[in-house]
A and B are shown apart, each in its own frame.
Chain A
Amino acid sequence: MSHENPKVIEISDGAAIPTKKDFGLFSAWRIAFFGALLVLIYLVVTRPDPYLRIVKFLPDGIIVTFQVTFFSIALALLLGLITGLGRISRNKIINAIASTYVEVVRGIPLLVQLFYIYYALGRFVKVPDMVAAVVAMSVCYGAYMGEVFRAGIESIDKGQTEAARSLGFNRRQTMFYVILPQAWRTILPPVGNEFIALLKDTSLVSILAVADLLRRGREFASETFAYFETYTVIALIYLLITLILSKLVSLMEERLNYYGKV
Chain B
Amino acid sequence: MEKSDPIIIIENACKYFGQLKAVNNVSLSIQPGEKVVIIGPSGSGKSTLLRSINRLEEISSGRIVVDGLDIMDKSNDINKIRMEVGMVFQSFNLFPHKTALQNLTMAPIKLRKMAREQAEEIALRLLKKVNIQDKAHAYPAQLSGGQQQRVAIARALAMNPKIMLFDEPTSALDPEMIGEVLDVMKNLALEGMTMVVVTHEMGFAREVADRVIFMDHGAVVEEGTPEHFFHNPTHERTKLFLSQIL
Contacts and interface: CB of A to CB of B under 8 A. Distances in A.
B93 A163 contact: yes
Interface in B87-104: 87, 89, 91-97
Contact of B142 (A162, A177, A178, A260): A260
Contact of A163 (B85, B95, B141, B142): B95
B54 interface: yes
B110 A159 contact: no
A261 interface: yes
A258 B79 CA distance: 30
Chain A interface size range = 20 to 34
User: Which of A3, A163, A167, A173 has most chain B Cβ within 10 Å?
Assistant: A167
User: Which of A157, A168, A260 has most chain B Cβ within 10 Å?
Assistant: A168
B106 A163 contact: no
B54 A166 contact: yes
A168 B97 contact: no
Contact of B92 (A2, A169, A259): A2
B96 A167 contact: no
A139 B92 CA distance: 40
Given A3-B140, A173-B110, A260-B138, A167 B91 contact: no
B94 A163 contact: yes
A25 interface: no
Interface string A1-43: 1110000000000000000000000000000000000000000
Interface string A158-198: 01101111111110010001100110000000000000000
Contacts of B138: 260
A167 B155 contact: yes
A167 B141 contact: no
B198 interface: no
Nearest to B108: A167
A162 B89 contact: yes
B159 interface: yes
Contacts of B94: 2, 163
A178 B141 CA distance: 16
Contact of A162 (B56, B80, B172): B56
B188 interface: no
Contacts of B89: 159, 162-163
Contacts of A2: 91-94, 96, 140
B82 interface: yes
B203 to A, nearest CB: 26
Interface in A179-224: 181-182
Interface string B37-59: 00000000000000000101000
Given A3-B141, A181-B97, A259-B97, A167 B83 contact: yes
Given A162-B89, A168-B79, A169-B107, 9 more contacts: A3-B96, A163-B152, A166-B54, A166-B85, A167-B87, A168-B82, A178-B95, A258-B141, A259-B96
